[in-house]
């Protein structure tokens, strides 16, 4: 309804012609240069303060501004206060707080808003960081926006201008940390040669308040240290890490710490030596402690021989609660399986009473259409915060979607997800709509005739992906390897069963879905009492999770009176319709946007619409074999055949297109 309304409104507007080409490289930081501003400060000039002053001098067009460095009971270290009387003034106990205040003012200016009273802002999370899954050969695991930004072969001698632009963009949304390399970490990153390269990046990022962290390989003492073991209780191993930490801090005095993926998907870890995750993490934490460094230890562990994959992180880590050092943070993915378009939250949140935790979100769209699909992710993260109270969390990580593409993120709307991640790390209570509004106005135009319809697309888009890919709690129906298209039938001889879709959908003649209730894998028991009961009963389980928690008979009556099978058909069809509506809406905003960007997004939406049909047909035709019921007659018929789709193998390297070649 809402979407249709906008189409009519936008068509009635007169067009603005000849908008200048915009390659997207400036992200949301596009203000015209100003020459009018008077910016003063009596504080000792530091590189960070100089940036704050310069940003305001360059772009601020309003009243004169004073910057004052001052402690204030209402402000934490990176917080700031803005007062308008007697003079517009930014106050913060730190230089970085002043810079954040400057970006706040510039954001307001770009949005056309004015500050009426005073503003007090404090970041919610102490650590707000990107995780790059970037390899040292510059490939990016699950990256869809070109190569890695870090030019390791050229560093430390040659320095790309993009390093500073990257740091600036992060600072402008409050991101204050970055893990440079893939969690599947090459031990080489800790060699002196690489640390010298990392230092160059750290020196640039520091001025923008961005601290550098590294992913480390638990077997590093063996691979680059020549030891015969990586056992965390071995004295030589502990000594090796202590020496390495000393070297790291000598080169990068404000280094943040280590991120570790251990005993997961083939990575080495303490369990190789019959030690616990706590013993492994603590050994590293002790090495970093003298320098105030931290260890972020990931809980993404699962094993095909063990229980239901969705239960494993909890089973492994909950019994260790209280055993971790105070400079260890458990980094937990938002959902218990793996960044699916929709998952219930990981029950470890809330279950670790005496251990620091931090959520890990995925900004890169590994499971949400890569850089081809428009999917604004803030609503997904907001949904998480609706169930999980961030009060006990100390940090937030987001797997970056950034690469060497001129516009940084491939899909121009990928920028919105980077932006939204930063804003939510600053304040998880911000709502998706406000963030979309901010991003659209800074990135494109403040004209409401553009902002309103495009914002409506954004806010609807994640649910559309859920609908056309995996509605009602379905998950992991992806093709093996690339996680782009559907392959609910996928069966790779010899593959781990928990890497195959049938492990998750469990389709059979009786019904569909994974029984995780008390009559099944009992994953529901890992949730707090209120949710445990809710999720456990097929009649009270929210339908958006019903196939996650239950094996539901095909003829089960859903809340709207339809059978499960019919509802599934309707959801998939709705997803396709949603994307078609975006195409229509997009056509209507052409006057407001430069031709290149307009066409780029238009062609990506076309691809998305084709892919949505591909998903709908593949999943419905495959499940229909089990349901043995017709697709409701009022719905569009499939356009593909199951047999053809089964033969199709997507060439993911060039992203050349799905089964559309069959037509
Ligand atoms: C999965 C990705 C894989 C990552 C892994 C992880 O498919 O590439 O290495 O998660 O988070 O989502 O460690």
Distance (Å) from CA 649 to ligand 1 centroid: 21
Distance (Å) from CA 234 to ligand 1 centroid: 29
pLDDT value at 150 more than 90: yes
The pLDDT mean for the chain works out to 94
- Work out the percent of the chain whose per-residue pLDDT is above 70: 95
DSSP string, 381-442: HHHHHHHS-GGGB-EEEEE----SSTTSSSSTTHHHHHHHHHHHHH-TTS-HHHHHHHHHHH
pLDDT value at 662 more than 60: no
Q: Is the dihedral of CA 240, 246, 250, 255 positive or negative?
A: positive
What is the layout of strands, in order, in the sheet containing 65-69?
Answer: 39-41, 65-69, 88-92, 80-83, 119-121
What tens digit of pLDDT does each residue of 362-401 get?
999 999 999 999 999 999 999 999 999 999 899 999 999 9
pLDDT value at 47 more than 80: yes
Closest listed residue to residue 560, CA positions, set 550, 549, 551, 571? 571
- Specify the range with the lowest mean pLDDT, choosing from 50-64, 234-248, 388-402, 488-502: 488-502
Q: What is the pLDDT of residue 603?
A: 97
The Cα 610–Cα 576 span in angstroms is 9
Q: Domain spans of the chain?
A: 26-121, 127-317+376-434, 467-514+551-647
Q: What is the pLDDT of residue 36?
A: 82
Q: What is the pLDDT of residue 303?
A: 82
With a Cβ cut-off of 6 Å, ligand 1 is lined by 141-142, 183-184, 261, 265, 300, 338-339, 366
CATH number of 26-121: 3.30.379.10
Q: Whose CA is nearest to atom 9 of ligand 1?
A: 184
Q: What is the pLDDT of residue 406?
A: 98
The Cα 323–Cα 332 span in angstroms is 17
What tens digit of pLDDT does each residue of 294-349 get?
999 999 998 877 789 999 999 999 999 999 999 999 999 999 999 999 999 999 99
The Cα 655–Cα 662 span in angstroms is 16
Atom of ligand 1 nearest to the CA of 360: 11
Pick the catalytic residue from 308, 366, 463, 617.
Answer: 366
DSSP annotation of 93 reads S
Beta carbons within 10 angstroms of residue 290's beta carbon: 11
Distance (Å) from CA 51 to ligand 1 centroid: 36
Atom of ligand 1 nearest to the CA of 182: 9
Q: What is the pLDDT of residue 24?
A: 96
What tens digit of pLDDT does each residue of 424-469 get?
999 999 999 999 999 999 999 999 999 999 999 999 999 999 999 9
Band the pLDDT of 496: cuts 50, 70, 90: confident
pLDDT value at 559 more than 60: yes
Distance (Å) from CA 19 to ligand 1 centroid: 41
The Cα 4–Cα 577 span in angstroms is 12
The Cα 42–Cα 34 span in angstroms is 22
What tens digit of pLDDT does each residue of 622-661 get?
999 999 999 999 999 999 999 988 988 776 655 555 566 4
Closest listed residue to residue 117, CA positions, set 130, 108, 107, 126? 108
pLDDT value at 12 more than 50: no
User: 447: number of CA atoms within 13 Å, CB side?
Assistant: 15
47-59 vs 95-110: helix crossing angle, rounded to 10: 20
Distance (Å) from CA 651 to ligand 1 centroid: 20
Q: What is the pLDDT of residue 158?
A: 97
Q: Which of 131, 132, 133, 144 for a ligand 1 pocket mutation test, highest count of atoms within 8 Å of Cβ?
A: 133
Q: What is the pLDDT of residue 616?
A: 98
Q: What is the pLDDT of residue 650?
A: 75
DSSP string, 499-555: GSHHHHH---SSEES---STTTT-GGGGS-HHHHHHHHSTTTS-GGGHHHH--EETT
Q: What is the pLDDT of residue 519?
A: 97
Contacts of residue 57, defined as CB under 8 A and 6 or more positions apart, other chains included, come to 34, 37, 39
Q: What is the pLDDT of residue 59?
A: 96
As a whole number of Å, the CA-based R_g of the chain is 25
The Cα 92–Cα 73 span in angstroms is 11
Q: What is the pLDDT of residue 653?
A: 59
Q: What is the pLDDT of residue 652?
A: 64
Domains 26-121 and 127-317+376-434 equal at CATH topology level: no
Distance (Å) from CA 484 to ligand 1 centroid: 14
Mean pLDDT of 587-593: 96
Q: Which of 132, 135, 141 for a ligand 1 pocket mutation test, highest count of atoms within 8 Å of Cβ?
A: 141
pLDDT value at 4 more than 80: no
Q: Is the dihedral of CA 133, 324, 337, 527 positive or negative?
A: negative
CATH number of 127-317+376-434: 3.20.20.80
Structure tokens at 375: 């999917």
SS3 304: coil
The Cα 506–Cα 623 span in angstroms is 10
| End-to-end Cα, the chain, rounded Å | 32
Mean pLDDT of 539-543: 98
Q: Whose CA is nearest to atom 10 of ligand 1?
A: 338
Q: Which of 135, 139, 142 for a ligand 1 pocket mutation test, highest count of atoms within 8 Å of Cβ?
A: 142
Structure tokens at 97: 């707080």
**Cα–Cα distance list, 233 to 24, 219, 237, 324, 485 (Å):** 50, 13, 7, 15, 44
The Cα 72–Cα 81 span in angstroms is 9
Active-site residue, 338 included: yes
Distance (Å) from CA 258 to ligand 1 centroid: 18
Q: Checking DSSP bridges between strand 127-131 and strand 119-121, what pairing results, if any? A: unpaired
Band the pLDDT of 14: cuts 50, 70, 90: very low
Q: What is the pLDDT of residue 656?
A: 53
Q: Which CATH superfamily is domain 467-514+551-647 in?
A: Alpha-glucuronidase, C-terminal domain (3.90.1330.10)
Band the pLDDT of 169: cuts 50, 70, 90: very high
The Cα 116–Cα 138 span in angstroms is 47
Q: What is the pLDDT of residue 18?
A: 59
Q: Whose CA is nearest to atom 1 of ligand 1?
A: 338
Pick the catalytic residue from 95, 308, 316, 338.
Answer: 338
Q: What is the pLDDT of residue 19?
A: 81
What tens digit of pLDDT does each residue of 128-140 get?
999 999 999 999 9
SS3 547: helix
SS3 3: helix
Pick the catalytic residue from 153, 265, 508, 510.
Answer: 265
Atom of ligand 1 nearest to the CA of 338: 12
Band the pLDDT of 494: cuts 50, 70, 90: confident
Band the pLDDT of 16: cuts 50, 70, 90: very low
């Amino acid at each position: 309804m809402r979407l249709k309304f906008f189409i009519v409104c936008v068509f009635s507007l007169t067009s603005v012609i000849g908008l200048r080409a915009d390659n997207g490289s400036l992200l949301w930081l596009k203000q015209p240069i100003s020459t009018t501003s008077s910016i003063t400060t009596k504080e000792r000039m530091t590189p960070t303060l100089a940036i704050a002053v310069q940003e305001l001098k360059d772009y601020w067009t309003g009243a004169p501004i004073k910057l004052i460095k001052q402690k204030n009971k209402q402000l934490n270290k990176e917080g700031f206060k803005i007062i308008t009387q007697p003079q517009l003034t930014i106050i913060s106990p730190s230089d970085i707080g002043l810079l954040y205040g400057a970006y706040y003012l510039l954001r307001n200016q770009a949005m056309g808003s004015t500050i009426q009273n005073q503003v007090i802002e404090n970041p919610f999370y102490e650590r707000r960081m990107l995780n790059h899954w970037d390899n040292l050969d510059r490939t990016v695991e699950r990256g869809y926006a070109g190569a890695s930004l870090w030019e390791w072969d050229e560093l430390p001698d040659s320095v790309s201008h993009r390093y500073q632009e990257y740091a600036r963009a992060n600072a402008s949304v409050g991101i204050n940390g970055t893990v440079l390399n893939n969690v599947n970490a090459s031990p080489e990153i800790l060699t002196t040669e690489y640390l010298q390269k990392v230092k160059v990046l750290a020196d640039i990022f520091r001025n923008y308040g961005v601290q550098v962290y590294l992913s480390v390989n638990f077997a590093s003492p063996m691979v680059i240290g020549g030891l015969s073991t990586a056992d965390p209780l071995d004295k030589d191993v502990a000594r090796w890490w202590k020496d390495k930490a000393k070297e790291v801090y000598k080169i990068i005095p404000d280094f943040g710490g280590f991120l570790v993926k251990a005993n997961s998907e083939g990575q080495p870890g303490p369990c190789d030596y019959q030690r616990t995750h706590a013993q492994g993490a603590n050994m590293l934490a002790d090495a970093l402690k003298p320098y105030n460094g931290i260890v972020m230890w990931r809980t993404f562990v699962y094993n095909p021989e063990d229980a239901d994959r969705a239960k494993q992180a909890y089973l492994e880590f909950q019994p260790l609660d209280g055993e971790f050092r105070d400079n260890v943070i458990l980094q937990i993915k938002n959902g218990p399986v793996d960044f699916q378009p929709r998952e219930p939250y990981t029950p470890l949140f809330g279950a670790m009473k005496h251990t620091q935790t931090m959520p890990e979100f995925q900004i890169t769209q590994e499971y949400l259409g890569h850089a081809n699909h428009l999917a604004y992710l803030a609503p997904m993260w907001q949904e998480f915060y609706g169930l999980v109270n961030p009060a006990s969390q100390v940090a937030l990580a987001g797997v970056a979607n950034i690469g060497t593409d001129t516009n940084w993120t491939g899909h121009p709307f990928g920028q919105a997800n980077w932006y939204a991640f930063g804003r939510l790390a600053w304040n998880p209570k911000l709502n998706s709509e406000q963030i979309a509004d901010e991003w659209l106005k800074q990135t494109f135009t403040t004209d409401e005739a553009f902002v309103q319809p495009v914002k409506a697309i954004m806010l609807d888009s994640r649910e559309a992906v859920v609908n056309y890919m995996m509605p009602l709690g379905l998950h992991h129906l992806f093709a093996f390897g690339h996680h782009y298209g559907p392959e609910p039938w996928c069966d790779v001889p010899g593959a781990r069963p928990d890497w195959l879709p049938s492990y998750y959908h469990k389709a059979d003649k009786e019904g569909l879905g994974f029984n995780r209730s008390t009559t099944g894998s009992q994953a529901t028991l890992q949730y707090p009492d209120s949710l445990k009961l809710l999720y456990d009963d097929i009649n009270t389980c929210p339908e958006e999770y019903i196939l996650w928690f239950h094996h539901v008979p095909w003829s089960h009556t859903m809340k709207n009176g339809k059978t499960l099978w019919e509802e599934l058909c309707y959801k998939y069809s709705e997803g396709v319709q949603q994307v078609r509506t975006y195409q229509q809406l997009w056509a209507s905003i052409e006057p407001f946007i430069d031709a290149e960007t307009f066409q780029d997004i238009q062609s990506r939406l076309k691809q998305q619409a084709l892919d949505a049909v591909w998903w709908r047909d593949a999943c419905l035709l495959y499940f229909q074999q089990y349901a043995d019921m017709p697709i409701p007659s009022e719905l569009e018929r499939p356009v593909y055949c199951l047999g053809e789709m089964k033969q199709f193998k997507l060439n993911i390297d060039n992203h050349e297109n799905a089964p559309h070649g069959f037509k």
